[in-house]
Chain A
Amino acid sequence: MRLFGLLALALAAGPAAQPAGPPGTGPVAYGQAAADSMPSPPPAPSVTGLAARDVRDDAGGAIELSWELVPGVTADSLLVSRSADGGTWETVAFLPGAEVVFTDEGLEDGVEYSYTVTSLLGGAASQPAGPVSAVPSAQWLHSKRTGMLIILVLLSGVIFWFIDQGRKGRKLYIREIAGLSAVDDAVGRATEMGRSVLYIPGIMGMDDIQTIASMIILGRVAGKTAEYGADLQVPVCNSVVMSVGQEIVKEAYLAAGRPDSYRRDNVFYLTDDQFGYAAGVDGIMVRQRPAAIFMLGTFYAESLILAETGKSVGAIQIAGTAMPSQLPFFIAACDYTLIGEELFAASAYLSREPKLLGSLKGQDAAKLIIMLVIVVGVLAASIGTWWAPAASLADFLRRILHVE
């Protein structure tokens, strides 16, 4: 709407507001047009310091124009004109008078474009600022993300090196994770008591890495329930998780040689609603009184509601999440809690597959590197307050780690 208003204003200004001809002829045309209709000279431009540059870190086809406003002069509107490779001039935009930047998009890479900016004041056009020129181009690497790329390559390199070491048969020590070691006991207890095992994979979908980690553990838990002949219930709050869960449990029962015991409906959808799901799961806990409850994945405010209800029915509870604010609730109400990255370590820990163990060691090594960088950064920033070289090191680290 605003654009149409400005267009009407520009048209109302008569020939003076029409886009200028090629540079050189423009100012003459403006002056004459103004002289024909008004005795006063054309108004002074309201913009100065016009500059054009290719937009950096983009897919090409864009040029950014920037300028400053002359103090005390504010145009009603600004008219941006463009010429490609010295050809004819065309109007590309009418802007509010206070604008100081404009990005022209949809251009052809490698072609030189020239621009002028004309101020429209009280129905008259000023002499145009410019012309200025630039050539749009596309970039292959985002210059502000180079540091991030280096870090990613470094961390990935460390992780892959350890995966390779694992593949080559190097002995890799993994400390005991009590929560994962207790999986067998929990399933065994449920079997002895003749009660079910309840597995809650969090409230997120398969695009959440914690849900994926949870699905990996579900495969192992399902393998144990198949082996021991215990009943497994998996209520989910996302339909994609349901499909994946059904496949994982089915494969686990097949692998355990008990395909007859697998029932598809044991992995079932309740609702996408956060607390509707919590209510549904609480109902299952209270009615079925499972002997073992696994809560592994992403949880939010419903974590304590689930964990406390589970405790009230006397189940052995193993929880795990990388959500820092929910960990205290699980620690307070559950028997075992996997903290943060322990959840992601579960796949390697439970399978003992060398490649996965290698990636776990790589992850630890990457953590060590990050810890070193943090310590060096903190020291450099602190010492840098009185010793300049340390300040430059801190600046360098800040620049490398900063992502735009």
Chain B
Amino acid sequence: MGGLLEKLDRIDRRFIYLLMALSVLVPLAFRLEMPIPVSPGPSMDLYEAVDALPPGSVVIVSYDYDPSTMPELQPMAVALTRHLMSRGVKIIATALWPQGASLAQNALTQISDSLGLSEYEDWVNLGYTVGGAVSVVRMGSSISAVFPRDRVGVPYDSIPVLEGVGRLADISMVIALSAGDPGIHAWVMVAQGRFGIPVGGGCTAVSAPEFYTYLGSGQLVGLLGGLKGAADYETLLKRDNPGAPGGTATPGMAAQSISHLVIMGFIVIGNIAFIAGRKRKRGGAK
């Protein structure tokens, strides 16, 4: 028994990796689904803040991530875009990360086409800008100074959806989907802190804990944390629009649930081995 526990304590990490892979693959392969109960919290706060926007208001959605974090953030982008567009809210897409502009275009065209909306009338993708927080500061006085043209070179002044939108003060809300910096920090510190624009956010699960400080202080109106946040949003959207197509985050929650259980199983095994080892050592010392 002692030998087995010792072996468990020094388990080959590749075995852990294998079980993790299976815990994700099996639920996905067998299309396991779980109901997602959404209780009051940061996801619901963001949903309600978006839901309260009057039709015709203009929102900036900043796609501050790249393909690597796409599995967690793109489902949020799709769900948020669908919610905003279906409510008649105009979207200005920006990106503080170079590859965010292409990912924004994917989400925007996909939803816009399905709802019969048109680019430049209902939404625009302004593309990528360098400078991070400095660019956001500059947008406080002039958005066209940062984005003189959109992603494919159409001049700012000739885009109908941007008519009457000169600076951040003309924006009803900023939603930053971010995988790191520049991202939510820049938007909260500048757009919210300096110009008083409501800011909502979406981030990877590993980054979520640090943004709770902004939730507590009211500097973030709501937050989607990781795949769970995206699944919450999809569930809320589906609740209010039963005809809307489902997203990709909800099916992923079964896999995430099983993988969490597997990790917890490893922690339990590790602790049994650890406690047994400690007892053995004490016994030996006696």
Contact = CB atoms under 8 A, between A and B. Distances in A.
Nearest to A324: B210
B180 interface: yes
B66 A298 contact: no
Nearest to B13: A312
B132 A325 contact: no
Interface string A183-220: 00000000000000000000111011000000000000
B102 to A, nearest CB: 13
B68 A275 contact: yes
A383 to B, nearest CB: 21
A301 B160 contact: no
Contacts of B209: 324-325
A300 B207 CA distance: 7
B206 interface: yes
Interface string A303-323: 010000000100000000001
B72 to A, nearest CB: 9
Interface string A230-272: 0000000000000000000000000000000000000000001
Contacts of B207: 300-301, 325
Contacts of B86: none
B101 to A, nearest CB: 14
A208 B185 CA distance: 12
Interface string A1-25: 1110000000000000000000000
A358 B196 CA distance: 36
A273 interface: yes
- Interface centre among A203, A304, A326, by most chain B C-beta atoms within 10 angstroms, is A326
B196 A204 contact: no
Contact of B206 (A272, A275, A325): A325
A273 B181 contact: no
Contact of A301 (B13, B164, B179): B179
B99 interface: yes
A403 B193 contact: yes
A176 interface: no
A274 interface: yes
B68 A273 contact: yes
A273 B66 contact: yes
A272 B181 CA distance: 12
A182 B99 CA distance: 39
Contact of B163 (A2, A208, A329, A404): A2
A273 B210 CA distance: 22
Contacts of B163: 1-3
Contacts of A272: 98
Contacts of A324: 209-210
Interface string B65-93: 01011000000000000000000000000
A325 B180 contact: no
Nearest to B65: A274
Given A204-B181, A300-B180, A301-B180, A325 B210 contact: yes
A207 B134 contact: yes
A274 B206 contact: no
A203 to B, nearest CB: 7
A304 B164 CA distance: 45
B196 A274 contact: no
Secondary structure type dominating chain A contacts: loop
A300 B179 contact: yes
B134 A274 contact: no
A203 B180 contact: yes
B181 A300 contact: yes
Counting chain B CB atoms within 10 Å of each CB, the highest count among A301, A324, A326, A403 belongs to A301
A274 B132 contact: no
Interface in B1-39: 13
Given A275-B66, A325-B206, A298 B196 contact: no
B44 interface: no
A269 to B, nearest CB: 15
A144 B209 CA distance: 31
Contacts of B160: 1
A332 to B, nearest CB: 12
Contact of B196 (A312, A325, A404): A404
A272 B96 CA distance: 13
B65 to A, nearest CB: 9
Contacts of A325: 206-210
Nearest to A300: B180
Contact of B66 (A207, A274, A312, A326): A274
A203 B180 CA distance: 9
Contacts of A329: 206
A158 to B, nearest CB: 23
Nearest to B183: A300
A245 to B, nearest CB: 19
A323 B210 contact: yes
A165 to B, nearest CB: 32
A312 B14 CA distance: 11
Interface in B179-225: 179-181, 193-194, 196, 204, 206-210
Given A207-B134, A208-B181, A301 B69 contact: yes
Interface in B124-149: 132-134
Interface in A386-404: 403-404
A323 to B, nearest CB: 7
Interface string B152-168: 00000000100110000
A310 B236 CA distance: 41
B42 to A, nearest CB: 15
Interface string B83-119: 0000000000000001100000000000000000000
Contacts of A207: 132-134
B162 to A, nearest CB: 11
B13 to A, nearest CB: 7
Contacts of B193: 403
B229 to A, nearest CB: 15
Complex A-B, nearest 3 residue pairs according to Cβ-Cβ distance, in ascending order = A300-B180, A275-B68, A325-B210
Given A274-B179, A326-B206, A404-B196, 9 more contacts: A203-B180, A204-B181, A207-B132, A273-B68, A275-B68, A301-B206, A304-B206, A323-B210, A324-B210
15 contacts: A2-B163, A3-B163, A203-B180, A207-B132, A273-B66, A274-B68, A274-B69, A274-B179, A275-B66, A300-B207, A304-B206, A324-B209, A324-B210, A325-B210, A403-B194
